[in-house]
Structure 1
Amino acid sequence: MGKVNIWLKRSFIIATSLMTIIGAIMLAGTLFSHGHFSRDEQIEHMIVGINVMYTVSITILVLPIIGLYGACKEKRWVLIVFTVGMILCSLFVLYMAVNLLIMRSVIVNLVSGLYLHMQPISNASEVDLVVLQETQTELECCGVQQGYVEWGYNISESCLCNDTLANCVAAPRNSSLFRENTQVMIYKEPCLPVFISHLNVAINMVVGISMGLTSLWILACALSIAILCQLRPKKDTMVVAYSREAKTGNYAVLAEPAELT
């Protein structure tokens, strides 16, 4: 079996160690998210995504550990398992990232339809009003598409903002939030454009992180394949040495030429 280059092995150990750290962080984030959303009544709708995150993070954590063991012990079959697993993970993540980019417009249209369904706000259901108010508080916006005017007279208190913010305007005089002796400020921007902007940023971040992880995995696979090539069994070849004693004429004649005829 061949000898592995020390710098090649060190590079592989650094790459797989970084992958192990990333896998541990992803697993910790998944556990935190599961605990955070476990109090939510709609946890049933999120459980599929959480289980997928558990599977991905555990896979990303376990495979580099296997690769580290194979590189340190120089075991070919362990490195083969690591390489095949990383290639499959890379193909899966690339497939999901490409599909996310393709489905971007569909996701945006679906979200837009959900929020546009709340209009007019005066006829929205209690569930839609709760969702809209939470969105207004989180994204610092008011209304769905046209701003606070969609609320009419009864502007929601979730539209209230600090007067130091640049995206605030004074509450109209003909609204329930107006105070004669106090300046009441409300959010100026509608929620749907802000939400779509945040959604596009989130999709770009997910795709960017996926591409970065895939690049690291491909690098680790290339290093693993290089180590496997160096670990291939080498055939022993006979060494031919030149000797000064090997001169012409140092041979014995077995028979006289006359005797051969």
Structure 2
Amino acid sequence: MVQVNACLKLIFTIFNIFFAIVGGVIIALALLSQVITNVQGGNGLEGRTVGLIVLYTVGAITMVIAILGAYGAHRENRACLIVFLVCMVIGSLMTLRAGIPALSTRPELEDVLEAKFRELLPLDKASSDTKNMADSLQSQLHCCGLFSYMDWEDDIPDTCLCDQEEEMEGRCQSVSYQAILMPRKSVYIKTCFPIILHYVLLLSNVMIGVTFTLAALALLGLALSSAIIHQMRSHNRATILMTVPAIFTTPPPKYQELHNPPGY
């Protein structure tokens, strides 16, 4: 077995342990994001499911690659280390390709999301799916309308109405309802869009942070695995490098040619 530098092997093993921990943290973040943004049975925020699947998949793949690298270093298995190196190259390229555009478009996310939600107004004339989504959001988040209670025009639903305890806490406002002659109703002051935007930006920040963290770790793993593979190749060539070709051997001194053989 080729002997790899013990210090380098230890550093690489620690790196893979940390890499596996990062994979577990990504899965935990995905689970936490799923719990926090769990509205309308998981369909309240568009693109949420795709983002969570990506986080779960990336976390699982990260842990598998980390285990592969740790095994390769422990057993000094060159095939495992080469597979690990290829995964690091592909991973660094993919994460940088995904992370750089996501970071550049992050400041525009709020405007894009606001424009998309404004297309749903007025809510009382929207499709039944949109109304159900808005009712679910209002019921769970205790808000009224996307940007204002006037998003519902003259058909404010019961999910906007406050109870007496919430009125005493100052979370409600009194508005006219349906007609001037109708009694005023108490609805939530808080609107739903800022809450939705908060969770969308939270998930976006988590994904951007995960992407660049994985890119940095992939580049570090690439360097460490390359060093170990190079050291293993150098050990394999040691015997060849120590062999001196016969053409470069020093010829015998001239006096040996004049030396008399025994018996004279």
Task: For residue 172 of structure 2, give the secondary structure of its aligned residue in structure 1.
Answer: strand
Matches of residues 198-217 of structure 1 in structure 2 within 5 Å? 198-217=199-218
Question: RMSD value over aligned CA atoms?
Answer: 4.0
1:208 is displaced (CA, Å) by: 1.1
Q: 1:142 aligns with which of 128, 141, 144?
A: 144
1:196 is displaced (CA, Å) by: 2.9
Aligned partner of 2:182 in structure 1 is: none
1:60 is displaced (CA, Å) by: 1.9
Q: Give the distance between the partners of 1:117 and 1:238, measured in 2 at CA.
A: 78
TM-score (norm 1): 0.68
Question: Which piece of structure 1 moves more, 22-31 or 151-160?
Answer: 22-31
Aligned residue identity for 2:85:
T
Aligned residue identity for 2:8:
L
CA 1:216–1:7 in structure 2 vs 1: closer, same or farther (change >3 Å)?
A: same
Q: 1:171 aligns with which of 147, 170, 174?
A: 174
Structure 1: runs of 5+ lacking an equivalent:
177-183, 240-248, 257-261
Counterpart contact for 1:136–1:191, Cα < 8 Å: yes
Counterpart contact for 2:55–2:207, Cα < 8 Å: no
Deviations for 1:180-221, whole angstroms, at most 9, x for unmatched residues? Answer: xxxx86432333344334323321221012111222222222
Aligned partner of 1:68 in structure 2 is: 70
Aligned partner of 2:181 in structure 1 is: none
Aligned residue identity for 1:254:
L
Aligned partner of 1:191 in structure 2 is: 192
Q: Give the distance between the partners of 1:71 and 1:133, measured in 2 at CA.
A: 55
Question: Which piece of structure 1 moves more, 109-118 or 200-209?
Answer: 109-118
Aligned partner of 1:20 in structure 2 is: 20
Q: Give the distance between the partners of 2:155 and 2:49, measured in 1 at CA.
A: 37
Task: For residue 145 of structure 2, give the secondary structure of its aligned residue in structure 1.
Answer: coil
Counterpart contact for 1:142–1:189, Cα < 8 Å: yes
Q: 1:254 aligns with which of 248, 254, 258?
A: 258
Counterpart contact for 2:143–2:188, Cα < 8 Å: yes
Deviations for 1:123-142, whole angstroms, at most 9, x for unmatched residues? Answer: 22322211112233444432
Q: Give the distance between the partners of 2:188 and 2:174, measured in 1 at CA.
A: 9
Deviations for 1:78-98, whole angstroms, at most 9, x for unmatched residues? Answer: 211101112202211221222
Aligned partner of 1:259 in structure 2 is: none
Q: Give the distance between the partners of 1:96 and 1:134, measured in 2 at CA.
A: 33
Matches of residues 1-261 of structure 1 in structure 2 within 5 Å? 3-24=3-24, 26=26, 55-104=57-106, 108=110, 111-145=113-147, 147-152=148-153, 154-159=155-160, 160=162, 162-163=166-167, 168-172=171-175, 174-175=176-177, 186-232=187-233, 233-236=236-239, 237=242, 252=256, 254=258
1:17 is displaced (CA, Å) by: 1.9
Question: Which piece of structure 1 moves more, 111-120 or 184-193?
Answer: 184-193
Q: Give the distance between the partners of 1:40 and 1:203, measured in 2 at CA.
A: 17
Counterpart contact for 1:30–1:53, Cα < 8 Å: yes
CA 1:90–1:158 in structure 2 vs 1: closer, same or farther (change >3 Å)?
A: farther
1:70 is displaced (CA, Å) by: 0.9
Task: For residue 64 of structure 1, give the secondary structure of its aligned residue in structure 2.
Answer: helix
Deviations for 1:60-111, whole angstroms, at most 9, x for unmatched residues? Answer: 2322222111101112222111011122022112212223234547754553
Q: Give the distance between the partners of 1:28 and 1:208, measured in 2 at CA.
A: 14
Q: Give the distance between the partners of 1:49 and 1:67, measured in 2 at CA.
A: 27
Aligned residue identity for 2:6:
I
Task: For residue 258 of structure 2, give the secondary structure of its aligned residue in structure 1.
Answer: coil
Q: Give the distance between the partners of 1:231 and 1:163, measured in 2 at CA.
A: 73
